[in-house]
Amino acid sequence: MTAGRPLRFGVLGCAGIARRRMLPAMAAARGVELTAVASRSAARAADTAARHGARPVTGYAALLRDPEVDAVYIPLPAALHAEWVAAALAAGKHVLAEKPLTCDPAQTRTLLAGARRRGLVLRENVMFVHHGQHTVVRELIADGEIGEPRALHAQFTVPAPAGDDIRYDPALGGGALADIGLYPVRAAVHLLGTGLAVAGAVLSRGAGHRVETAGSALLRRADGVTAQLTFGMDHAYRSRYEVWGSRGRITVDRAFTPPADHRPALVVEGKRGPRTLRLPAEDQVTAVLTAFAEAVRSGETTAGDEAELLAQADLLHAVRAAAEGGPARPRDADQAAAGRAADGSHQRRLSRYQATVSANPAAKSVRGR
């Protein structure tokens, strides 16, 4: 990447999160340029690219061969992340991939190691950790505002998606745990550290669904600090956490998906008495892109939050194993088997996903809402 030139992004796919949040942010953010949008459908690529002043490309592999693309954003279904992240890295592209980075911790470690070997930046698009309100919370905890941390209670729940939403498809990496539960799991790691283990977990499947639609997990640290997490995608909307300490409590509402114009109001009950800290509005989507571009320019190939990312991946895997009452099995293997049974091949699975989105442009994902 030439000094002084914007980071040129190409996008693999036209998913809802890309169209609603990431593409507009790329078109508007400083230091970033939306160069190309790829789809297996030429018409869909042309329509999406035209809306944001980018160049359409037919086919994902063609975009990866484009010398005018420095970095790739991957908003494909979770089960396809590992393959296309690996392909993008092999093509010499920096990668920002939607969460989860993969569905298996071992694959996540392999991809991160591969990026380091090639001198490339690889990041997972967990937006909320880039919002300044969580930095303030961590500073309050470090300053002893609520005494010694004792527990975290975090909830992220959303209304039921449309019936044909990809999150209901196990072959595409669907399910509430990876898409919704990731948020409170990451909050626990972000606020309590990487030394967490799963003490218990429950995953429940709504009637007629092939994936879990709700769940709860209890995490613990060796010193007795706990995190009680609730998540689901057939619920009233809730996006909140509380950190309890020996002498107080911090409450954060709109914790995970605040709109860009939202002014956070942190409720602090601590050593200085009860008060509300009102913070300026921030756009966490722009913050993600800014941080990614800075990492590319500085040559920071090892993610500053890599330890958190890996702890999150391990915990998500352990939550599923605890809930299913058996030894952990790489989820990608389950998804590959389910995909072969349902569709016969990876290409048919991907084609089915593309056909569904093309036929129903209104179909959306709440990722990064």
Contacts of residue 353, Cβ cutoff 8 Å, sequence gap at least 6: 77, 166, 169, 172
Contacts of residue 236, Cβ cutoff 8 Å, sequence gap at least 6: 157, 159
- Alpha-carbon distances of 354 from 14, 125, 252, 351, 360, rounded to whole Å: 9, 22, 37, 5, 10
Note whether 309 and 174 are within 8 A (CB). no
SS3 231: strand
Q: Report the alpha-carbon distance of residue 57 to residue 36 in Å, rounded.
A: 7
What angle separates helix 182-192 from helix 132-142, to the nearest 10 degrees? 40
343-352 CB contacts, 8 Å cutoff, 24+ apart? 343/171, 346/80, 346/83, 349/79, 349/171, 349/172, 350/40, 350/80, 351/40
β-pairing, 273-278 vs 265-270, is antiparallel
Position of tokens 């993610």? 303
Contacts of residue 69, Cβ cutoff 8 Å, sequence gap at least 6: 8, 9, 10, 35, 36, 63, 93
322: enclosing H helix or E strand: helix 306-324
Q: Report the alpha-carbon distance of residue 173 to residue 74 in Å, rounded.
A: 15
- Alpha-carbon distances of 78 from 56, 81, 158, rounded to whole Å: 23, 5, 19
Q: Report the alpha-carbon distance of residue 255 to residue 266 in Å, rounded.
A: 10
DSSP state, 20? I
Active site residues: 99
Per-residue tokens: 28 = 């508007």
- What is the Cα Rg of the chain in Å? 20
